[in-house]
Chains A and B, each alone.
Chain A
């Protein structure tokens, strides 16, 4: 056996007969592995559970949290992306203004694809914010802030910064509301069964 063949043999690339060992890579398995990694990274599964819980909670229009004595409610608007493992599918993108509440989305969630990215319209008292959130980082994309009231440029800059921080506080309040339920026994006892029942409506 030539030296290079010996190296290949030691690496497991050649068999004892000197023929190459063909290792079949199952594309489906690779994709499944990637989907599982994505779910675990940054605990994205919790982000997906939160956005999915938000979808369920917002369907009834209830107040989800209170910040500075004003109620916080939300609505999922615009496109929504669902990810997970449902048979051969790992992602479903649904387009349309209120597509998040479409039956097809509930069916997909019931099969294991949870909300990964969604655009939230958050109402806090009189103010309305919009922001696209992803489950992995909860980073803010293309947010719309309430109209600025100040006229001086420096004041407008500080007002805009204040509003971006306010948006952060509101999303933190939604997260806290979710985690309060998520870490309580009622998550398994009542919330999850209620979500599952809603999915089958």
Chain B
């Protein structure tokens, strides 16, 4: 749980609500989290990845009752990502073995369509045997200040959680990148073009 200990690495956002808060915000927050609650992967199915909300202090728990995600003025929850990875080399070696057996039995190598059908069968079989890898990423949201912190370093994961929050809570998360800060301010963009003395005239001219 990086929120309590470990590396402090996170991206910062400011949440902007699209609607007025409801009469029972605790309930609507719980509903929003539960809608996107984590669902375990069905290893016999087609899916090889599942992501959703779990409780901060118990990554198996998806009850997400207000008492489990509200800490003072903070909403704290964890985004859990489970994925199944079947090593490509293992798939290839299984297909090669099957192709050899096929050729010995039938007398000619399998056609491309046969191979790809067999690949699906092999993938399904190996997926059932593969370990599920679990990653968790904490989210903290100060409901008083609307400061949101996504405790992840991967750009892809940060974007995924950002989208999940925006959809679930009907908010826009504004990043704190220089561009977003400028967009949110009333700064005249003509005054903040790249400085030619620092970047060089030709570079500064090309950066907009």
Contacts and interface: CB of A to CB of B under 8 A. Distances in A.
Given A160-B3, A168-B147, A192 B10 contact: no
B47 interface: no
Contact of B4 (A114, A135, A136, A160): A160
A112 B199 contact: yes
A78 B23 CA distance: 50
A182 B198 CA distance: 13
Nearest to A112: B200
Given A40-B207, A161-B140, A140 B198 contact: no
Given A44-B178, A135-B178, A164 B203 contact: no
Contact of B7 (A46, A142, A179): A142
A98 interface: no
A43 B203 contact: no
A154 B71 contact: yes
B182 interface: yes
A143 B8 contact: yes
B66 to A, nearest CB: 16
Contacts of A161: 3, 74, 140, 142
B178 A157 contact: no
A160 to B, nearest CB: 7
A90 to B, nearest CB: 11
Interface residues of B, number: 42
Contacts of B187: 179, 183
B58 to A, nearest CB: 14
Interface string A22-42: 000000000000001001111
Contact of B194 (A45, A109, A144, A157): A45
B9 interface: yes
Nearest to A179: B187
B53 to A, nearest CB: 18
A187 B194 CA distance: 12
Contacts of B182: 43, 46
A39 B11 contact: no
A196 B199 CA distance: 12
Contacts of A141: 9, 153
Interface string A143-159: 11100000001101110
A117 B149 CA distance: 20
B153 A114 contact: no
Nearest to A196: B197
Given A168-B147, A192-B198, A139 B11 contact: yes
Nearest to A175: B181
Contacts of A41: 179
B134 interface: no
Given A39-B194, A39-B207, A139 B200 contact: no
Interface string B192-208: 10110111100100111
Given A165-B147, A179-B187, A183-B187, 6 more contacts: A43-B182, A112-B203, A160-B4, A165-B142, A192-B195, A192-B197
Interface of A: 36, 39-47, 49-50, 52, 84-85, 109, 112, 114, 131, 135-145, 153-154, 156-158, 160-161, 164-165, 168, 172, 175, 179, 182-183, 187-188, 192-193, 195-196
27 contacts: A42-B175, A42-B177, A42-B178, A47-B178, A49-B198, A84-B203, A85-B199, A112-B198, A114-B198, A135-B178, A137-B176, A138-B177, A139-B9, A139-B153, A140-B8, A140-B9, A141-B153, A157-B71, A158-B71, A158-B74, A161-B74, A161-B140, A165-B142, A168-B12, A168-B147, A179-B181, A183-B191
